[in-house]
Amino acid sequence: MNVLVRSLPRVDYPSCWEAMRAFTTERDANTEDEFWVLEHPPVYTLGQAGKPEHVLAPGEIPVVRTDRGGQVTYHGPGQTVIYLMVDVQRLGIGARAVVSALEDSVVDYLRQRGLEAVSRPDAPGVYVNGAKIASLGLRIRRTGSYHGLALNRVDDPAPWRRINPCGHAGQPMTSLAGEGLDPDRASVEQDLVTILAGRLGLTPRTAPPPDWYTPPQS
């Protein structure tokens, strides 16, 4: 089965979230799966069960209450986000298997580049020497998944200090650049998409941005 890979240079979180929900509502048994690969402007997102007290001092960065699992996280420039709109029933897997595929894909990608990384059963995500390099959250509705993973390519520690990342006070964060790896966006995203698609038994096929997407003004 194919998965359509749509690259979006940068898109604001609320419109992307609404588009993910609409895609999931409208899809049927014949709808092809899709990955949306993108960056967001600075934003904090708080999961369904997220506790507002984990948002310490957001300042000028907006906070959006969303419908994924998990607590609070940050999205912004220098971070690659991959949203998975896949039919888990058609793939014959459950929510836990999708989460494992996300985590294992990042671990595989980092190990291929010479960096040892692990996932943790008590705190979803991927870690390097205790520091978190990738976050994830998921929602499954009407057999379709949405939301996905966020991999830090470049360090920007300031926004993370304003929250308890994923509900863990003092959680150290890291990035590809912080670990001495090349954070080039195009190559990172191409390699990670290939690994993730393979983990899910899908063949990636490049597709144009979706109709709802408006490129940012330069």
* Active site positions, annotated: 166
List strands edge to edge, sheet with 72-75: 63-65, 43-46, 72-75
Cα angle for residues 9, 85, 113 (degrees, 5° grid):
60
Closest residue by Cα to residue 204 from 213, 191, 215: 191
Contact 69, 45 (CB under 8 A): no
Closest residue by Cα to residue 191 from 82, 73, 76: 82
Integer angstrom CA distances of residue 102 from 12, 65, 217: 23, 22, 32
CB count, 10 Å around CB of 199?
A: 17
CA distance 148 to 136: 6
How far out from the chain centre does Cα 80 lie? Answer: 7
Q: Where are the alpha helices (DSSP H) in 27-156?
A: 88-91, 95-112
Amino acid at site 30:
N
